[in-house]
Amino acid sequence: QEQVVESGGGLVEAGGSLRLSCVASPRSLSLHDMAWFRQAPGKEREFVARINMISGSTNYADSVKGRFTIDKDSAENTVFLDMKTLKPRVRAIYYCTAKAFFGRECWGQGTQVTVSS
């Protein structure tokens, strides 16, 4: 019954920027944290960034530190991923997760990001 939906993926030029959004529902759900993961074809899924929905504290993968920023709107159960200085010729599906205080981590369907040369 819980739902996580990502949006904002698409094609972007190398060095460009893109903003992803994710909404967890229902709105009454009390969330502990939300996070972003990504998976490229033929590779394992990897952690990108996580944010605590109460304190706002964040964690980032070393590969995206200084380029990606995760932010939140706790009242709307929404999280954002601002991606800058995107690397060339990369394609990955970005997945959003939401974790309630006493529930399991729920995953969205993903949104594809393609970086051209």
Average pLDDT of the residues in 8-34: 95
- Binned at pLDDT 50, 70 and 90, residue 28 comes out as confident
2: closest CA among 79, 67, 98, 117? 98
| Confidence at 117, pLDDT banded by 50, 70, 90 | confident
User: Ramachandran region of residue 101, left (φ > 0), alpha (ψ -120 to 50) or beta?
Assistant: alpha
Pairing label, strands 46-52, 111-116: unpaired
